[in-house]
Structure 1
Amino acid sequence: MKVRDLMTRDVEVARPEEPIQSVAQRMARGDFGFMPVVDGKRLIGAVTDRDLAIRAVAGALPPSTPVGEVMTRDVTFLHENDDLETVLNKMSGEQIRRLPIVNDARDLCGVVSIGDMAAKVKERYAGEALEAISKPAAGHA
């Protein structure tokens, strides 16, 4: 299974010049704590609710501060053609819950989360299990 089969494609993104207050409000409305930051389509970083709390609020930055000043620049990401094992190793090794997914040009394609993986893997293996138990046993037609 490839990352492109697991990821969420329609994700909200922030622009580096967008004010932190606007980003925080969108995160609150959408009830998510992670947002990729893009320049055009190219992934340049990510901002989390933790980034906003520690770098912006604790640093007493004004609400108009561009998100590019508080985002994580050296963001861990995966490629859309990476496989499930790569995702699991990266998430467990670096204790990351969400990863941006890019193409060869480093354009953002989507985000994969632990929840995405759990749902897709469960769906796949539940289907395989159902198929296996639905096959008639030898001598039972």
Structure 2
Amino acid sequence: MMRVSEVMTPNVQLAAPDQSIMDAAKMMADADCGALPVGENDRLVGMVTDRDIVVRALAQGKTDSTIRDVMTESIEYCFEDDDIDDVANRMGDLQVRRLPVLNNDKRLVGILSLGDIAIAGADQPATDALAGISEPQPGAPMH
């Protein structure tokens, strides 16, 4: 059984909700990533993605937005000692490509992405998660 801690990306940079979306974009560029966990008062309060910045701010002309304005507040996460197969299935069910990873003290210790799972050689869990993520939501427009 493979654990999340074996394949996650550790040492993740944390953004603050009152930082600008420009700050978030620079942080993502520097870290070569598409998402940042958002923390406030030593707690995880959201996630912001490059897509959040584009769709929720730039596409609407809101170039002076803060991370809080565009972040997703409802946070799904996993624990570092969770089983990769279980987490991959959850990612598919939730239709997410990455999850923050917490330790047992609920402190952020990393990020688990679909890519991390695939690189680790966990082919079937990655395939199952991608199938779930790619499945259209009921009532969603087809593209």
TM bucket, shorter chain: 0.7 to 0.9
Paired-residue identity, % = 39
Q: TM-score, structure 1 length as denominator?
A: 0.76
Separation in 2 of the partners of 1:42 and 1:6? 23
Separation in 2 of the partners of 1:101 and 1:77? 6
The aligned residue for residue 75 of structure 1 is 75
C-alpha displacement of 1:10: 1.4
C-alpha displacement of 1:91: 1.6
Separation in 1 of the partners of 2:109 and 2:42? 9
Q: Is the 8 A contact 1:100 1:108 kept in 2?
A: yes
Q: CA 1:76 to 1:24, structure 2 compared with 1: closer, same or farther past 3 Å?
A: same
Instruction: Report the 3-state secondary structure (helix = DSSP H, G, I; strand = E; otherwise coil) of the residue aligned with 1:44.
Output: strand
Structure 2 unpaired stretches of 5+: 123-143
The aligned residue for residue 15 of structure 2 is 14
Larger radius of gyration: 1
Superposed CA RMSD in Å reads 1.7
Instruction: Report the 3-state secondary structure (helix = DSSP H, G, I; strand = E; otherwise coil) of the residue aligned with 2:118.
Output: helix
Q: How does 1:1-141 map to 2 (within 5 A)?
A: 1-63=2-64, 65-121=65-121
Amino acid of the structure 1 residue aligned with 2:12: V
Structure 1 unpaired stretches of 5+: 123-141
Separation in 2 of the partners of 1:69 and 1:107? 24
Instruction: Report the 3-state secondary structure (helix = DSSP H, G, I; strand = E; otherwise coil) of the residue aligned with 1:112.
Output: strand
C-alpha displacement of 1:20: 0.9
C-alpha displacement of 1:42: 2.1
Separation in 1 of the partners of 2:118 and 2:74? 26
Instruction: Report the 3-state secondary structure (helix = DSSP H, G, I; strand = E; otherwise coil) of the residue aligned with 1:11.
Output: coil
Instruction: Report the 3-state secondary structure (helix = DSSP H, G, I; strand = E; otherwise coil) of the residue aligned with 2:121.
Output: helix
